[in-house]
Chain A
């Protein structure tokens, strides 16, 4: 509805003076290829971005949506729509709490985790980065271990936040 900042630089310029902390920004990658109750994958991503705004202290920066051929997927999978969002989870949220909120959104959109790797799905929200935090637990690895190899993450991220470098890289 409102004019969202189109780049992270714009977000920081607008809300930095008000208290936004660049070192706290989280990056979420959004992906979908099956239709959901909100319509085709593209519409699903737009609705998912609205939901992400409920986890953010400020407007969410959303990249353009790109379409990609499926990588390492079961044969016959439809093409993927992908985007990246940058947001500020606020001061008191932990990475695990944030991850659980993302999974709650996925579940609400009708995702059933079958356990198959890279299966077709109605919505996939991956936590790529949470500030500068680095961790490696069975439930969560930060930054996301395969982010650096994924063009469908790096490419949209370069559009909205070209200055960003993955922590530890």
Chain B
């Protein structure tokens, strides 16, 4: 395997010194890029794009051809796991992800198979190997998975939801069943992330997109506990290097101290919390990733630069910051504004690393 030329991202995750703050964007291989839209169109549908290692590799690399980002992230979807459990994932135009089957009864949970990653999700690990080879050591590759709670919400609802009525109802009415489901998912996610690491992922991120809809107490019991369990079971080192883990709970700002105790190396932040405040709370334990509001990318280059500067200043001097958006980049952003964003992070952060 080619030696890593740019390891800023991995160094920052583990609190080591860097010359400038590393930066990448959640959903950086996405619809805002015309070349992504072209490949997506040729692929036919979103799942075909995910399931072809060649195409997944191509769209993973597209943003890196345009911008000097410090990490690549596997192009895939968090819902590959429930799909491999036989729920039948599909994407209807304009409606987001949907499942043909849902999980609503004791029987549904018990009959849910634990997927064999090597058999059912080899398209993901094949993509990881291919991307790692094609990156040729230019930047590290991030693997990822959805959190058990987040996956469970989709499996119970059968789609995205505004109020998560069915998922919460299931949790409150059948807590033991919910734990049984989450346990199955945690085992699968652990094996899934370890398979990605074995295939070449150099860091992993757990996306807890819907942890923030839970009440305090329920979050710790039904979301965080299972992420902890996963982290405890992950491969710690690969190629003689630590494999850092990032946990990102959207709207998790209220529970930062507990997230920082999860065993993760890095805590992902959405834009609702002040970066400096988060650092004061947990910066001695973990590194921080985030947290610019992605909507700022619709504004002017001057506004983007000043927001980058504000967040860098809020974090202050020293190590342990990976710059990112507070959530995924949205489809309508002008690709030129992304260039302004990435360049601003590198240019304006040097003064904080002297």
**What bracket does the count of chain B residues touching chain A fall in?**
20 to 34
CA distance A17 to B48 in the complex (A): 12
Majority DSSP secondary structure for residues of A touching B: loop
Asked if A19 and B44 sit within 8 Å, CB to CB, the answer is yes
18 contacts between A and B (CB under 8 A): A1-B61, A1-B65, A1-B135, A1-B138, A2-B136, A3-B134, A54-B33, A54-B65, A54-B66, A55-B35, A56-B38, A57-B35, A57-B39, A57-B42, A88-B38, A88-B42, A89-B38, A91-B38
Q: Which residue of B lies closest to A15 (CB)?
A: B54
Least CB distance from A44 to B in Å reads 16
Least CB distance from B3 to A in Å reads 15
Q: How many A-B residue pairs have CB under 8 A?
A: 71
Contacts of A89 in B (CB 8 A): 38
Contacts of B134 in A (CB 8 A): 2-3
Contacts of A117 in B (CB 8 A): none
Asked if B35 and A56 sit within 8 Å, CB to CB, the answer is yes
A92 within 8 A of B: yes
Asked if B54 and A14 sit within 8 Å, CB to CB, the answer is yes
Contacts of A18 in B (CB 8 A): 42-43, 52, 54-55
Contacts of A2 in B (CB 8 A): 61, 134-136, 138
Interface residues of B (CB under 8 A from A): 33-35, 37-39, 41-44, 52, 54-55, 58, 61-62, 64-66, 133-136, 138, 335
Contacts of A92 in B (CB 8 A): 38, 41
Task: Report, nearest first, the 7 A-B pairs whose CB atoms are least far apart.
Answer: A90-B38, A57-B38, A2-B134, A19-B42, A57-B39, A1-B138, A53-B65
A131 within 8 A of B: no
CA distance A92 to B65 in the complex (A): 22
A143 within 8 A of B: no
Contacts of B52 in A (CB 8 A): 17-18
CA distance A164 to B37 in the complex (A): 27
Asked if A3 and B136 sit within 8 Å, CB to CB, the answer is yes
Asked if A20 and B42 sit within 8 Å, CB to CB, the answer is yes
Number of interface residues of A (CB under 8 A): 24
Contacts A50-B65, A57-B35, A88-B42 known; 15 new A-B pairs at CB < 8 A = A1-B64, A1-B136, A2-B61, A2-B136, A2-B138, A3-B133, A3-B136, A18-B43, A18-B55, A19-B43, A20-B42, A54-B65, A55-B34, A57-B39, A58-B58
Asked if A53 and B35 sit within 8 Å, CB to CB, the answer is yes
0 or 1 for each of A53-92: is its CB under 8 Å from B? (1 = yes): 1111111000000000000000000000000000011111
CA distance A88 to B55 in the complex (A): 13
Least CB distance from B323 to A in Å reads 21
CA distance A17 to B55 in the complex (A): 10
CA distance A55 to B38 in the complex (A): 8
CA distance A91 to B37 in the complex (A): 10
CA distance A15 to B55 in the complex (A): 8
Question: Would you list which residues of chain A between 86 and 145 have a CB under 8 Å from chain B?
Answer: 88-93
Asked if A90 and B62 sit within 8 Å, CB to CB, the answer is no
Contacts of B133 in A (CB 8 A): 3
CA distance A89 to B55 in the complex (A): 15
Question: Would you list which residues of chain A between 1 and 20 have a CB under 8 Å from chain B?
Answer: 1-3, 14-15, 17-20
Contacts of A91 in B (CB 8 A): 38, 41-42
Q: Which residue of B lies closest to A92 (CB)?
A: B41
Least CB distance from A57 to B in Å reads 4
Asked if B34 and A54 sit within 8 Å, CB to CB, the answer is yes
Asked if A90 and B37 sit within 8 Å, CB to CB, the answer is yes
